[in-house]
Amino acid sequence: MGDSFGTRLRAGLDKRGPLCVGIDPHPQLLHAWGLDDSPAGLERFCHTVVDAAADVAAVAKPQSAFFERWGSRGIAVLERLLSDLREAGVLTVLDVKRGDIPSTMAAYAEAYLDEGSPLACDAITVHPYLGFGSLSGAIASAVGNDAGLFVLARTSNPEAAELQDLVAGQILGSVAAANTASAAHEPLGPVGVVLSATPPSIGHALERLHGPVLVPGVGAQGASPADVARLFSPVRQAVVPSVSRAVLADPGRVRERVTAYRDEFATLLG
Average pLDDT rounded to a whole number, residues 147-160: 93
> What DSSP letter does each residue of 215-267 carry, written as one string?
E--BSTTSB-HHHHHHHTGGGGGGEEEEE-HHHHS-GGGHHHHHHHHHHHHHH
Instruction: Give yes or no for a contact between 219 and 244, defined as CB atoms under 8 angstroms apart.
Output: yes
pLDDT digits (tens, 9 = 90+) for 209-224: 999 999 999 988 889 9
Q: Where are the domains of the chain?
A: 5-269
Q: Give the H or E element holding residue 193.
A: strand 191-195
pLDDT digits (tens, 9 = 90+) for 187-208: 999 999 999 998 877 777 788 8
pLDDT at residue 162, rounded to an integer? 86
Catalytic one among 47, 80, 86, 97?
97
- 97 as an active site residue: the answer is yes
Task: From 223, 231, 157, 238, select the one nearest 193 (Cα to Cα).
Answer: 238
Average pLDDT rounded to a whole number, residues 19-28: 97
Cross-strand partners of 195 = 154
Judged by average pLDDT, the poorest of 29-33, 70-74, 183-187, 256-260 is 183-187
State the fold for domain 5-269.
TIM Barrel (3.20.20)
